[in-house]
Amino acid sequence: MASQDWFDKDFYKTLGVSKDVSDAELKKTYRKLARKYHPDSNPGDTAAESKFKEISEAYSVLSDKEQRSEYDQIRAMGSGARFTAGGQGAGGFEDVFSMFGQGGRGGSGARFQQSGNFEDIFSMFGQQGGGFGSGRFGEPSGGYRGYGGPQKGADVTAHTTLDFVTAVKGETISLSGENGKPFKVKIPAGVSNGQKIRLRGRGHPSPDGGENGDVVVTVTVRPHPVFTRDGLNLRVTVPVTFTEATLGATIEVPTLGGDPVRLRVAPGTPSGRVLRVKGRGVESKKGTGDLLAEVQVAVPSHLDDAAREALERFHELEPKENPRAELMSKAASGR
C-alpha cells in the first residue's frame, strides 16, 4: 500500500467497526468477513477477492498495536489530509514530524525542497517508501495467497484403523493427541479405506491470531472375511450346488450385522450372476446401497460311487453342445 493510503483509506469503516473496538471484537469481525469473502468460498468472483484483500489489509494494520497507534495518529490530522511542500498551513511537514518527536524545521536539521514528496518523508524511517511498523504498506504478513491477514494454524495429522462393520455403521471413537490427551472423533457411516476426516479448528493455534489449524485423521479399514465394498453397495459371493443352479432353489444369504435374507435362484443360473437385495447395503448421508450377492457354482471335490454313476448317466443324456464353441470362435476371428 502506498503511504498516502493511510490518509485515504478508513480501515475501521472497511471492517465495519468503531475506533474503540476491542482486540477480541476486531478478530471476531475479521474472521466473519474473511469467511464470507474468502476466494475459496467465491471461486472466480473478482469482487469478493478484492474485498478479501481490503479486509485483510485493514486487519493486518489494526491488529498490530504499534501500527494501529501510528495509523490513528496520522488519521487524526484530518480526513483527506495531504503532505505539502513548504511549511505554510495545516498538514505541512512540520505538523507530521511534531507528532513523532521530530520538532519543526530545525528539529532534525532536515529541510524539504519543493520537489520533496510523501515517499521522501518515510525514507527517513528506513521504510523505502513504506509505512510505519514492522512491514511496508501493501506487503503481506502471511495469510491466503499473500493477501495479508493472520495465518491459519498448522494442521495435526492422525491415523486410525477400524474394523469393517464400524466403518460401515459409523461410530464415535477416541484417539490420542500429540500431547497425549485423548480426543473424540465421530466416524461417519460409510467411511472408506484411505478416507480423511477433517476436524476443523482442532489443530495448532495460529501464530498471529488467525484460525486454529485442523486435525486430519486418515482411516484404514480392515477387510471383512465375507463382505466387500462397492461404493455404497456391499458385495458377497454365495456358493450354490450344481443341482441348485440347474434346477433352481431358494437359498439364504447373510447380511452385515442383520438376519439372513432368502433369495430365489432361478433354474439354469450360471456362476457370476448377481442377485440384488435392495436397501441392505451401506447407509450414509449420501444414500443407501444394496446387497449384491454373486452366485458361484460349487463343484464337489469328492463323490461316492452312487453319485458318480448318477452323473455319468446324466452326462450320457445331457445336450451334446460344446459350451466353449463360441469362445473358440471369437478367439480365432478376433471379433
The reported pLDDT for the residue numbered 139 is: 40
Q: What is the mean pLDDT of the chain?
A: 79
Those residues whose C-beta lies under 8 Å from the C-beta of residue 269, and which sit 6 or more positions away, are: 240, 245, 248, 295
Residues 267-294: what's their mean pLDDT? 94
| pLDDT surpasses 80 at 333 | yes
| pLDDT surpasses 90 at 133 | no
Tell me which residue has cell 448377481: 274
The reported pLDDT for the residue numbered 89 is: 42
58 — pLDDT class (breaks 50, 70, 90): confident
User: DSSP alpha helices (H): ranges in the chain?
Assistant: 5-8, 11-15, 23-37, 46-62, 65-75, 93-98, 118-123, 164-169, 242-247, 305-317, 325-333
147 — pLDDT class (breaks 50, 70, 90): low
- Report residue 4 CA to chain centroid gap: 39
Instruction: Decide if 243 contacts 299 (C-beta within 8 A).
Output: no
The reported pLDDT for the residue numbered 281 is: 94
183 — pLDDT class (breaks 50, 70, 90): confident
The rounded distance, in Å, linking the Cα atoms of 192 and 170 is 11
Ordered DSSP codes for 136-200: -TT---SSGGG--SPPPPPPEEEEEEE-HHHHHH-EEEEEE-TTS-EEEEEE-TT--TT-EEEET
The reported pLDDT for the residue numbered 191 is: 93
| pLDDT surpasses 70 at 19 | yes
Lowest-pLDDT range, 48-52, 76-80, 171-175? Answer: 76-80
Q: Which three cell numbers stand for residue 325?
A: 464353441
The reported pLDDT for the residue numbered 78 is: 55
Report DSSP state, residue 84.
Answer: B
CATH architecture of the domain formed by 228-329? Sandwich (2.60)
166 — pLDDT class (breaks 50, 70, 90): very high
| pLDDT surpasses 60 at 103 | no
SS3 of 330, please? helix
Residues 71-87: what's their mean pLDDT? 58
Which part of the chain has CATH 2.60.260.20?
156-221, 228-329
Which part of the chain has CATH 1.10.287.110?
5-146
The reported pLDDT for the residue numbered 46 is: 85
Instruction: Decide if 299 contacts 240 (C-beta within 8 A).
Output: no
| pLDDT surpasses 70 at 143 | no
Starting at the edge strand found earlier in the chain, the sheet holding 291-298 runs 228-230, 233-241, 291-298, 274-277
Q: Are strands 215-221 and 156-162 parallel, antiparallel or unpaired?
A: parallel
Of the chain, the percentage scoring pLDDT greater than 70 comes to 76
Instruction: Decide if 56 contacts 34 (C-beta within 8 A).
Output: yes
| pLDDT surpasses 60 at 40 | yes
Per residue in 216-263, pLDDT (tens digit) is 999 999 999 999 999 999 999 999 999 999 999 999 999 998 899 999
Residue 26 Cα distances to 13, 64, 66, 200, 250, angstroms: 12, 11, 15, 22, 70
| pLDDT surpasses 90 at 44 | no
Burial of 57 by CB count in 10 Å (0-12 exposed, 13-18 middle, 19+ buried)? buried
Structural class in CATH, domain 5-146: mainly alpha
- CATH number of the domain at 156-221, please? 2.60.260.20
The reported pLDDT for the residue numbered 266 is: 96
Those residues whose C-beta lies under 8 Å from the C-beta of residue 179, and which sit 6 or more positions away, are: none
The reported pLDDT for the residue numbered 310 is: 92
